[in-house]
Structure 1
Amino acid sequence: MKLYIWNHPHNILYGGAIAYAVAESEDAARDEIRKAPVMLYGDQRQKLDVAGLHIDGPADRILDLPCAEIFQWEE
């Protein structure tokens, strides 16, 4: 199992987005992301239109497990 990460998986007007999935392969990670809800502001879930996802290319990063990371975005 690995952690697959895509930066900017869909377009938003302001800010940024990251898609990540733990899976056996990159294709399996894409399948999981297509089913996943979008977390808005840390606690609101919203279904994303998967047609607009930009995850067909290779993952931006692939990390071996176990791993840890802290993401911070602020204005």
Structure 2
Amino acid sequence: MFKFIRDMLRGSADRKSSSGFDIYEARVQKTGRSRWEWFLYDGAGHLVMQGIERRRSAAIYAKNRALFLLLSNRRISR
């Protein structure tokens, strides 16, 4: 279901906003007749995770779930 592209537990300055929070972009794209692909990118535009689903609603759910899991596992730096 999830394809991890790079280790997300490492800190990176290019993924932080000016306020110090991580920035991610999530999108869903139709890639075939019954194929929807979802992507998660970091603030620098690097692909972090991706997945493929048969229904659009399933792709949106998987994208949101991956983003939630990613954000819930981040360490908070002070």
Decide: shared fold, TM above 0.5.
Answer: no
Give TM-score, length-normalised by structure 2.
0.30
Q: Which has the higher helix share?
A: 2
